[in-house]
Amino acid sequence: MDCDGLRISARRLPGADLENVEVTDDNEALLLDSRCIALDCEMVWANKQPAETTLRPVVVSIGVVDTELENLLYARIAVPPDVDIVDDSFARTSANLHPDWTKGIPHTTAQVLFRTMVQRAGTVVGWQLDGDLEVLGFEVAAAALRAGRRLSVDFGGGVSVRVVDLSDHFRSLHNSKCQLSEAYRAVFEDRPAQHWGAHHAAADARLCMELFRRWRRGGCPRSVPLNLKFYVVNVHGLRRGGAHQERHQTLFEYLRPERGNRGVVLEQDDGRNFKLKFREENERAAYMCIVRRRMQAAHEDLGPSLPAQESGSEKVTAAVRYSCRLFTAHLYEITR
């Protein structure tokens, strides 16, 4: 039985081995604990002027949600004046934050407010929480999480609570880490697409809490394997487009994705293979349409897709190839 008195069903938590859930004294207590909060932070990359040269994350917003999915806190956090913002693209485009980083409550206020909420809560929930806690100034708690500690995590001021980092439990079939949005999409596959992606700190904290509630109703399983894939475009044999057009020019003109967000696509280039690993099949399909349109504008022809021999790896499936005057591209799927 789960914490709501409902019978656990394998349909509730896709991929969870609910027949072999290990119920310990601790996760039995977790099943009954209603004083849980979820945390998420948005960050920008910066350095302190003029001494620092190494980029570090700086927090610009915080979201805290309770088990009833109510926002307890959503606030901008002002960046100190001695901090030089180097990269704010994710916070602007994905979190929709206006790039005036002097707006918001002081960092110390956010820290005090969150510690007060932690003191009243029995459990703090999140996704890769060590990074969020680090930028909020809870370095001891962040270090404890990186060392593998999850019980009695020290938040300072005599406050110690349990932490549930959902990224410990939601992994790919091959036990690789994934993103919060990917885990949410895999578990809540019947939800409309607008629920899947990241929006801002409060919205992401809500995603964490929804995922936590589903995980807890499933009996707090140690591992929830998710059927995730990368949708790959591997370009090789890249040739010059003209007498003076070098490899990088051909790459830039035809093959660069319009969005380089790591939440959408991972890019690798070793000088021989230019590889893009998309997290969603529709993103790869949209990219290939863009490539074809760019080539048509330059009077080049991508050609039809042809069956390609799949590798011996069980991970690689659904292989096709394109071969044109400028390059050869193999498209395939990898089970993660």
pLDDT, tens digit (0-9, with 9 covering 90-100), for 21-63 = 444 555 656 665 678 999 999 999 998 766 667 889 999 999 9
The answer to the question of residue 68 being in a domain is yes
78 pLDDT tier (thresholds 50, 70, 90): very high
**Does one domain contain both 177 and 250?**
no
Residue 8 confidence (pLDDT) above 90: no
**Does one domain contain both 280 and 222?**
no
**Does one domain contain both 195 and 209?**
yes
Q: Give the total number of structural domains in the chain.
A: 2
The answer to the question of residue 4 being in a domain is no
Query: Around 23, how many Cα atoms within 13 Å sit in the side-chain half-sphere?
Result: 13
Q: What is the pLDDT of residue 20?
A: 42
- pLDDT one-digit tens code per residue, 218-235: 989 999 999 999 999 999
247 pLDDT tier (thresholds 50, 70, 90): confident
More reliable by pLDDT, 7 or 323: 323
Asked which of 180, 208, 226 is the last residue of a domain, the reply is 226
Q: What is the pLDDT of residue 283?
A: 93
- pLDDT one-digit tens code per residue, 304-318: 888 887 665 667 888
**Does one domain contain both 211 and 237?**
no
Instruction: Return all residues near 63 (Cβ < 8 A) that are at least 6 apart.
Output: 39, 40, 41, 71, 73, 74, 200, 201, 202, 203, 204, 205, 206
**Does one domain contain both 236 and 97?**
no
Pull the structure tokens for residue 187: 């578990």
Q: What is the mean pLDDT of residues 290-303?
A: 92
5 pLDDT tier (thresholds 50, 70, 90): very low
Query: Around 139, how many Cα atoms within 13 Å sit in the side-chain half-sphere?
Result: 1
Q: What is the pLDDT of residue 142?
A: 98
Residue 329 confidence (pLDDT) above 80: yes
**Does one domain contain both 176 and 292?**
no
- H-state helical runs in 74-106: 89-93
Asked which of 184, 200, 226 is the last residue of a domain, the reply is 226
**Does one domain contain both 197 and 298?**
no
**Does one domain contain both 323 and 195?**
no
Mean pLDDT of the chain: 85
The answer to the question of residue 6 being in a domain is no
pTM of structure: 0.80
The beta-carbon contacts of 96-101 under 8 Å, at least 24 apart in sequence, are: 96/199, 96/200, 97/42, 97/60, 97/61, 97/200, 101/44, 101/60
Most confident residue range from 29-33, 65-69, 198-202: 65-69
- Which range, of 27-31, 134-138, 179-183, 289-293, averages the lowest pLDDT? 27-31
**Does one domain contain both 186 and 319?**
no
Residue 292 confidence (pLDDT) above 80: yes
**Does one domain contain both 219 and 235?**
no
Q: What is the pLDDT of residue 87?
A: 86
CATH number at residue 86: 3.30.420.10
The answer to the question of residue 176 being in a domain is yes
More reliable by pLDDT, 10 or 222: 222
Q: Is 100 helix (H, G, I), strand (E, B) or coil?
A: coil
In the chain, the percentage of residues whose pLDDT exceeds 90 is 58
Do 90 and 261 meet the contact criterion of CB atoms below 8 Å apart? yes
- Could you list the residue range(s) of the whole structural domain that residue 92 is in? 18-226
**Does one domain contain both 175 and 242?**
no
More reliable by pLDDT, 18 or 315: 315
Do 311 and 333 meet the contact criterion of CB atoms below 8 Å apart? no
Asked which of 192, 207, 226 is the last residue of a domain, the reply is 226
- pLDDT one-digit tens code per residue, 251-278: 888 998 987 777 889 999 988 899 999 9
**Does one domain contain both 184 and 73?**
yes
